[in-house]
Each structure stands twice: as C-alpha cells, then as structure tokens.
Structure 1
C-alpha cells in the first residue's frame, strides 16, 4: 500500500523533469528553426527578378530563367566548385592530425607542460580570422617580418609574397586552418581517450607492450569510432568551407583559386547585387549537401552498423 503512492510520485517527478528539459530546449529549437528553416522561404526569390524595396508579389516572375543562367555560367561554377572541393579534400587528408596530436598530448607525462601546450594550441580557435589576417600580413606580406629577414640574409625566394602566390594559396590556407583548429579538434579525441577502458591499458602493460604497441593496439582502435564519425560528417559537409577565412584573404592575385562556393554566393548576392541568382547557387549547394549527407549516412550504416542520423 505504501509503495504505490511513492511510485506515483517518482513517475510524476520524472514527467516534471522531462517537461523542464523540454522547456529548456525550446530556445535552442527556436534558434534552429529561425536560422535553418525560415531562410528556406527565400528560395521563392529564385523564380523572380529581385528588386530592392518591392514585395515578392510585385516582383516580375521569371520562372526558370535563373536556373538557365546557372547552366550558361557552368564554367565559372565549375571553377568555384574546383576550389571548394580542393580545399575540402586537403582538409580531409589532414583529418588524422588532431587525433595524432591528442595521442602525443596524452602520452606527455609532464602535466604542466601538457596543459601549457594544450592551452596554447586551443587559443587560436577563438581568434577572429581578421586578427589572423593581420598576423599573417605582419609575417608574410611583402614588407612583413619574414621577407625582411630573408632580405637581410640574402635569401631570394621564388614566388614572392606568399599571400599573393596563386600556386601556394591552397597550401597556405590549409596550414592556417590547421594552426587555428588543431588544438580545438584534439579536445574531442582527448575526451575519447579518457573514455577507453583503463583495463585495456593495464592488460597491455602486463603483456609487456611498449608505448608504441599500446598506442597501436589500444589507443588507436579506441579512437577509430570517433574518427570515423568526424570523418563522415566532414565528408557530408564537403561544400561548406565557410566564408570568413576566404573573405579576409581574398585579393586579386589569388582570386582564381581562393574563391570558394560560399564566397561566390556572397559576391553574386551582395557585391554584384544579383540576389535571385545567388539563391539558385545556394539551392544547388543545399541539394548537393543533402545528397552527400544521405550517401555518407548509408556508408556509415555499412561500415559502423548504425547510421549517423
């Protein structure tokens, strides 16, 4: 008799806690709806000739004219896609670096030194790309520190200013991205290492395994599920390079190779003021990204036995 009311109270308490969690999640759900789903209504502008200050109903209807324009400018779109995919594939090739860096940090026994290195490598993630551009200009521009030191030592480097070198722009932007995000991305792997069963390390030590053998047979296999999930998510976001990095480093000398899809949408919509055509390009990017997401989801189901979404 006494057990029933207590059970009822527990159930009511769980329900109340569930409602509290639901209420706490509402602001975040509203933000997702506002920034991810409400903008989809702007796709209607792809079928009209956009005019500033006019209502959508008052704008001239052009049907699929903007989509036909996409086909006419396919060479320009192909160039932008080339840059986007090149930068994305270079980043994918470098995805093991945060995992390797996390393993090196984990194997460092000097706690103070490990914390210092982790802090110094994580801080760049919080630095704005505008600040990174100023730092890079101070170091690598024609009148920067590095060219001045090379001039003092009589070193003549081919290619001139690296920030204006069209052949080196992909590698230069890749190195900047690695420097900025390596420590931050390593945090995920450090957390994954902490989640590996300690008994596996004890068993490896009992069997006489060396440090490298322990890393190879215990640490790396324990990190592979995390690595695969992050890799598949990065493949699904193949066309999402971002805007800020390429916006601040854009200049006429490297414009042919640094112009990725996000920057091209910004240029067409804001600088050229062809808003309707920029919507069409954005729609193309969204459709391809959704196809990639479902493709990667299928790959994840086959490799890991469970989908990402």
Structure 2
C-alpha cells in the first residue's frame, strides 16, 4: 500500500514542572529535507532525533518541533544582580530616570540574566522519546490514510485510460479504412490511372507506417503493471513515476501515428488523465 508524504502528528507530555509539546509536519520532497527546532537544553539529542525521524519517515520536507513550557516554580534563569546594579550605576551617569526605568534598560543588557544549564534527566528524556515515537506513529497513520485516498484516485484514472484505450482499439479499423479512402480519393482527384497492385503495395506500406498495434499492447501492459505495483508491498512514488513515463510515451506515439481526428480526441483525454496521475505521484512516498 502506498503512503502520502503529507502528514501531521502531535503529542503533549505533562511532566511535574514542565509541559513538552511535540509536533511533526511533512510535505512532499524529492529527498529527506529535515528541519529540527528544540530548546537548547535538549540540543545534544538532536542527532539521535534526526536518525529516528529519517528511519521512520524516509522522505519528505519534514518540520520537527519540540516546545517546552515551564509549569512549576522551577526555573533555570536568574537575574545576575551584581551585573544589573553595575549597569544601573553606569546608566545614571548617562541618562536621567528613576530606578524602575534604569532597571528596565539594565536587564536588556548582555549578561543581565544568567541561565544554569542542567543535565538532562534520563527518566525525563525517556518519556520524551516515547512521545516522539508516538508522534511518528501518528504521522505515519496520517500518511497511510492519505495514501489510501491517492490509491483510490489512481485506480479510477487508470480505469479511465483503459476504457479510452478500448475505444481506440474499437476505432482502429475505422481509422485504417478512413486512411484507405483518403488515398483513393486523392488518386481520383488527380485523375490519374494507377497500377492497382502498386497502389495496394504503397497502401500497405503507408498503413504499416501508422500501425499502432504495438503501442496499444504496450500501453495495456503498462496499465496492468501500474495497478500490480500499486498493490504490491514494494510500491513507491518513484517506481510508479517511471511506469507513468512509459505510459506517456505510448500515448504520445498513438497520438502522433493516429492521423485521425476522432482518435486524437481520445488520446487528449488519456493525456489529461495521465497528467493528473503524475501530479499526484509527486506526493507519494
């Protein structure tokens, strides 16, 4: 079964003094394009997070975000009092203002606030890792559901192309007869006597030149192979894209050889269906 590259997964973890929110979003991309946003306290774990995401999602433009909200009294940031007082003293010599205004300016200065870097608690990180795994599972479920919708659409459009191909097959004898009649009419219009045997030989050559039997057979085989690949465990967007390219070649050749307006209309409809398939294939994993 195919998967879409579009997906979304979110998990929220409530710890004793903080709330951790994890979001993973993905869109289509030719390769893995991973963007990670997380608090600096967890930055040392970024490489392992990237490995887990790459292994679980494989491909796509992926945004991973880990947000931390302090909900308890615990904080790692404190006011650097000596530095702030020194700034306030210096500012008094530069500007007039009361203590409150000077304090507002001082706390914006470098080193006015100090942050203590704590070691990551192992149990806390284990809980966060479990939530990341859960978010990855949710986004994969989302991708599978989107993939099911794409699969349904592909099968409908392949069936449409197959029906149009059957119309082409039914129309082919009429097309050949039309070619024959146009040649006879052309000869009649120039009022020249022709050798019937030579005329038949030239006619056979002309009709063989525009014969589309091989293209019809190959296109039918490609349609069957597309569905077979779609239903297989090895199905992927790139492989289906290659099959789509082969289908396009056969449809284009039928159009160029047909030399018959009603058949060319059917070819245009087949091209339209195939183009819609190709657009959707860009989003298949």
For the criterion TM > 0.5, the same-fold answer is: no
Q: Which structure's CA Rg is the greater one? A: 2
Range class of TM-score, shorter chain: under 0.3
Bigger proportion of residues as helix: 1
Bigger proportion of residues as strand: 2
